[in-house]
Structure 1
């Protein structure tokens, strides 16, 4: 099998799509399966340069600067894809590189699959662009129509796309977690020392510091804690994004903002915190939620989107109505004031995360690829 993967985001960019594709690339490399990634260039000097990755000049995408719009030399890209001679194309983003793959696959009758990762329609309201909603759905449905299959990461995402009559063949491609990397064993007292934290409890948020992640609910919940509990609790917000500088300037005395945190730092933060709060209602999956669970950390999340499939309410944490500060506050209070409950939820979180194996997920994806290739072969024979 020769797999051509097209995406407008890839490591060292930090987001769920980029990290998932890196995991897939590592899996394919280990099993000596032929593949080639066609992705944007990056400003980071650490961007990997290998025979399996071809990069093209790009600019940041307006709504999501961690995702980039590539502007490839079409002649060069066409020659490169033809030389690789893929027998299946996987498109991860519906932008410029995806459009080229869309056209190339149709023209040459190559089996094509797509993966849907981001609810861009949910982002529109946060950026006052609701008027684009109808046009966005029209474009997304047109773009995905020629694909043999569309992969989504969760049942709620599948249901949403089915409601919009998005595609006739939608399948679940879930996510895994490295349980040996994200583990309770990485708990460290150095976290408090390094950040000058004297409070007993730590609430952690990790992810993009952006409006669509409902950062407002995180901050309001923290300041809404009962006074006695607030005095003994500190909030750490790990990540980068458009709201970081503004919030850091406003709350620098009360909240620790780490900025960008690499995987090693995140693993230590997860394991050393007492609660992971993630109120985002726009998730298709929620990779950081699964990482927190694997680290033995109770999660308080929104009862919507991908998060609700990962958190078992009252067993591995709490699910709250999106934006309901009172509900999030009550959940935080119950966990932080009950040592036995916190320990129970932490153990159950770790147990639940152990079921999410990257090996199983990618094995199923390869089997699905094979079925798509065979069905296309029979249809065109």
Structure 2
């Protein structure tokens, strides 16, 4: 079919971008924060953005930009999440009326696949950002045998995108090894260093939630779900307690494993879901940050902890490997090694000088990450994606295809 591409070849900056995501405002997590920050930035640059995503009756926060609610159902067994059942006719008409220059896909779900097919049919370039290692999820639900099939499906999805954005060199290496795409770019993450700051440390608040001044507060921040390494976290806390270390777990977050996690950590302080200044205060009022998860593509919580001036002890995995400087801003530990995690945490609990020095180094390192610079780089990648798409279609025209470019 002979279609006209919506580009001016003399100006490759997209004017209208359609963003598709499995979650945009009903659960707050790192990827959602990044996407909302991106949309706000694009609108500041004069680019129109229309977001298509499932919604819930009670959103977790006020989202950025214009959001089109896509019909969805609750995910079985994880009802806090929604699954869009593709793109019905009404949604397709809204997308066609918007007439996007670029499609940005944030997940290889049913909605993402439907949007990808739409983009190919209407000859609009599609790019994708890689936020979650879905290929690792089956192992947490005793279905590790599914991982090769999940990886193959993801590979098929990402190979149809002009560019795939990952948050770190580490994730680029992983996806390259898995042959996910031949055009992987870095879309890193920034941090609000004014919000997340050591200046927000509040000893009175610590006391009010039950943390004594002489206790070392070890923070967990994130969704209370199995794939966040809750089992490793709890086992490590048990080992620290058995060693007689004086500490108090500080848990920030909600999720379906809240009840089980509470039973595993009877001495912990559970703050529930926090955001904004309340979240920043919790970080800064902690003494250490512990992240045992291996499923993130970017450790947003790790970076926020670093900006708050506390050392981070993390699994040496894709989410934190490139953020934490081992022995300088914290420690990286072999995933799942309970004894090694406990050794590092005990050392920092008992050595206040090292803890203070690493906290200052963490803050200094975090200041190198500016949201504006990060998102300006992504916008430049968008333009290159459009240029690549035009170049490929020019080659098709020379070979006798029917695509026409706007002049």
TM bracket, shorter-chain basis: over 0.9
SS for the counterpart of 1:224 is helix
Provide the secondary structure at the position in 2 that maps to 1:218: helix
Deviations 1:70-104 (A, max 9, x none): 23662111111111111111000111221221111
Contact 1:9 1:66 in 2 (8 A): no
* Counterpart among 261, 283, 288 of residue 301 in structure 2: 288
Bigger Cα displacement from structure 2, 302-311 vs 28-37: 28-37
TM-score by structure 2 length? 0.88
Structure 2: any 5+ residue segments left out of the alignment? 1-14, 395-407
- Partners of 2:93 and 2:271 lie apart in 1 by 43
Change (3 A) 1:65 1:283: farther
Instruction: Note the C-alpha offset of 1:147.
Output: 0.8
Q: Distance in 2 between matches of 1:97 and 1:356?
A: 32
Partner SS for 2:325: coil
Secondary structure, aligned partner of 1:196 = coil
Q: Would you say the 8 A contact 2:36–2:64 is kept in 1?
A: no
Q: In angstroms, what is the RMSD of aligned CA positions? A: 2.0
Give, in whole Å, the separation in 1 of the partners of 2:263 and 2:352.
34
Which of the residues 241, 252, 258 maps onto 1:244?
258
Partner of 1:346: 359
What are the superposed Cα offsets for residues 218-275 of structure 1, whole Å, 9 maximum, x if unpaired? 2222222266853x311111111222112224533x1122222223322111101110
Q: Distance in 1 between matches of 2:87 and 2:128?
A: 23
Give 1:106's match in structure 2, choosing from 89, 112, 120.
120
For residue 96 of structure 2, what is the aligned residue in structure 1? Answer: 82
| 2:105 corresponds to 1:91 | yes
- Asked if 1:380 corresponds to 2:398, the answer is no
Higher mean displacement: 62-71 or 144-153 = 62-71
Mapped contact 1:281–1:305 kept (Cα < 8 A) = yes
Deviation of residue 328 (structure 1)?
Answer: 1.2
Given candidates 256, 272, 284, the residue that maps to 1:259 is 272
Q: Which structure is larger by alpha-carbon Rg, 1 or 2?
A: 2
1:115-134 CA-to-partner distances (Å, cap 9, x unmatched) read 11111121111101112122
Match status 1:206 vs 2:251: no
Please say if residues 15 and 66 of structure 1, whose CA atoms lie closer than 8 Å, have aligned partners that are also in contact: no
Residue 2 (str. 1) matches residue 16 (str. 2): yes
Deviation at 1:66, TM superposition (A): 5.3
Report SS of the residue matched to 1:328.
helix
Deviates more, 1:358-367 or 1:151-160: 151-160
Distance 1:136 1:281 in 2: 17
Q: How does 1:10-21 map to 2 (within 5 A)?
A: 10-21=24-35
Structure 1 pair 346/66, CA: closer, same or farther in 2 (3 Å)? farther
d(CA) in 2 for partners of 1:147, 1:267:
36
Aligned-pair distance for 1:156? 2.0
**Structure-2 residue corresponding to 1:159:** 173
Larger mean CA deviation between 217-226 and 47-56 belongs to 47-56
| Match in the other structure for 1:322 | 335
Instruction: Please point out which of 143, 146, 150 is paired with 2:157.
Output: 143
| Whole-angstrom CA distance in 1 between matches of 2:260 and 2:63 | 35
1:224 to 235, 239, 242: 239
Structure 2 CA distance for aligned equivalents of residues 288 and 210 of structure 1: 15
Q: Structure 1-normalised TM-score?
A: 0.94
| CA deviation vs aligned residue, 1:128-149 (integer Å, no higher than 9, x gap) | 1112122212211222222111
C-alpha contact 1:285 1:305 (8 A) present in aligned 2 = yes
Task: Give structure 1 stretches of 5+ with no counterpart.
Answer: none
* Distance in 1 separating the partners of 2:129 and 2:69: 20
Instruction: Map 1:20-59; keep pairs closer than 5 Å.
Output: 20-44=34-58, 48=62, 52-59=66-73
Give the SS at the match of 1:374. Answer: helix
| Structure 1 counterpart SS, 2:249 | strand
Tell me the number of residue pairs that the alignment of Structure 1 and Structure 2 aligns. Answer: 379
